[in-house]
Amino acid sequence: MNTIRRAAQSDLSTICRLRIQRTAWLTARGSDQWTVTARGLPIEIFAQAVGEALDAGETWIAEVAGEPAGTITVNNHSNPGLWSPWELADAVIVHYMIVDLRFAGQRIGHRLLAHAASLARQRQRHWVRLDAWTTNTDLHDYYRGAGFHLARIAGPATSGPSRALFQRRSDSWAFEPMTPVPTPVPQPAPEAHSGGR
């Protein structure tokens, strides 16, 4: 069974492992995403940032049959200069979405993004927004395939290597209504029969 649960501090090592795993996978494919040489966060700084998000209750874990399969952090802030104050005020912002390679192709990322949209709707925000690594066009294609569109590439005054800004309206996901657990219908007591005829 697939579930999404709020992450705890005890999940930090798993999230760091996912980051290291995915960075190695990206590097093997010629991407500089998350590498220190391309101004990606060193793993120690990443762990500190995720630890703070865990303390704030902003990080989630997707599980498949009880195994951690992916993670996402959802809050309402971003690096300075990426989104305007009015864009932040009407959105949730996605960070650090990583899917374990063992579960690639099972749409874990799509479910995590839908979870972000559900959180946006709960908070009465109309957008799910994120910044993607500027040079990773495969990642841009992934987000387009997940229904996002490129809002813009943030200007050169913005620091950092993730300046491709994507967004999707939170009401554009088709959420399945919760199916109530059926309540057992009380059965009438069997009729009493007399013993004589």
Mean pLDDT across 113-137? 97
For 116, other C-beta atoms within 10 Å of its C-beta total: 25
Indicate the angle between helix axes 12-28 and 43-55, nearest 10 degrees: 140
Distance CA 181, CA 162 (A): 44
The total number of residues written for the chain in this structure: 197
Measured between alpha carbons, how far is residue 186 from residues 19, 54, 112, 182, 189 in Å?
A: 52, 45, 39, 12, 9
Using 50, 70 and 90 to split pLDDT, how confident is the model at 178?
Answer: very low
Smallest CA-to-CA distance from 131 within 174, 68, 196, 87 is with: 87
Tell me which architecture the domain covering 2-172 has in CATH.
3-Layer(aba) Sandwich (3.40)
pLDDT digits (tens, 9 = 90+) for 95-111: 999 999 999 999 999 99
Quick check: 194 pLDDT over 90?
Answer: no
* Max Cα–Cα distance, the chain, nearest Å: 98
For 18, other C-beta atoms within 10 Å of its C-beta total: 22
Distance CA 70, CA 60 (A): 8
Torsions phi, psi of 86, nearest 5?
Answer: -70, -30
Quick check: 190 pLDDT over 50?
Answer: no
Global pTM reads 0.86
Quick check: 28 pLDDT over 70?
Answer: yes
Report percent pLDDT > 70 for the chain.
Answer: 88
Q: Look-up: residue for tokens 């395939």?
A: 145
pLDDT digits (tens, 9 = 90+) for 32-90: 998 888 788 899 999 999 999 999 999 999 999 999 999 999 999 999 899 999 999 99
Q: Look-up: residue for tokens 């864009």?
A: 87
Segments in 33-184 forming alpha helices (H): 43-55, 85-89, 108-122, 137-145
Smallest CA-to-CA distance from 95 within 116, 80, 81 is with: 116
Residue 160 DSSP symbol:
S
| Per-chain mean pLDDT for the chain | 88
pLDDT the model gives residue 1: 56
Mean pLDDT across 189-195? 37
Q: Does residue 128 sit in helix, strand or coil? A: strand
